[in-house]
Amino acid sequence: MLTAALATAAAAVSLTAGCTRHGAADDGRAPKGTPAPSEGTPAPTQATGSVLAVKIDNVAAARPQTGLDSADVVYAEQVEGGLSRLMAVYATRLPEVIGPVRSARESDLELLRQFDRPTLAFSGAQKKLLPLIRRAPLRPESPAEASDAYYRGNGRAAPHNLYLRPARLMNGAPGRSALTTGFRHGPAPAGGTVTAVRTVRYPAARFAFTWSAGRNRWLVSMDGTPARASAGDRLAPATVVVQHVRVTRSAYHDVLGNYTPFTETVGSGRAEVLRDGRSFEATWSRPEATGGTTFTGTDGGPVNFADGQVWVVFAKA
């Protein structure tokens, strides 16, 4: 859970702010006319030894996303109106551009506690959530703090056109040791159930992961459409985790009165780990916010992930 100070502050506030539905007003803080950066890239504002986490838009108007295929871990969560949003975590490599970037949520603060002062790139947040973000043990880098790192792309309407140049925030990728997620990588466990496709549904969004023996990866589809990187290749993680979590109502809501779901990632519960064309039943455990998440199989042993990108989809328990 959040620290006591953050939780107390969160419970004491309510607000109305940026709607998350497609077509709503921009919830970012960058001016609509923010130009694309010039070829000369200035030095990043601060060196960092921790991961870069970026909140990424995931409605149809935001696809295909840029830089998502370079992330080490992609988290999918439910937001207002039953829609979904992604948080991509980068440690081993930084792409040139990432986006479209969108706003942060209260759940992000708990999820990011597993890392040592991560950099959070986001387009802004609901007004009364911003003080919580500033007090959290992370490095917030929205356009308000680092305007030179962001630009508005052509061909898409705001708010689906805000992009990040990560080299303007970071001195380089921090390396695999910064991925303090608790995940274990190694040989596949014994057993499992042969699985061709696994679908996870939110009220207004849908993820499907289809096994490709030829690529030895899970091909991602979102809302019934194959999900691709901006370069054209299918998004294809090596491991997919369906993590069943408690989802409650936060103190925050949008301008339409839709309350933001709060996804609890501290605790324990049921999970499914998909790798090598099989599904493995597991139990997840994260006793403390400052620790990572472990996955234990039905035999009592750890469930190893395959080498490569991991997607974690939070499903309501």
pLDDT digits (tens, 9 = 90+) for 40-89: 334 444 445 899 999 999 999 999 999 999 999 999 999 998 999 999 99
> What is d(CA 278, CA 269) in angstroms, rounded to the nearest whole number?
20
- The strand order across the sheet containing 225-226 reads 197-202, 205-212, 217-222, 225-226
CB 49 within 8 A of CB 174: yes
> What is d(CA 94, CA 67) in angstroms, rounded to the nearest whole number?
8
CB 166 within 8 A of CB 94: yes
State the pLDDT confidence band at 260, using cuts at 50, 70 and 90. confident
Residue 259's pLDDT is what?
76
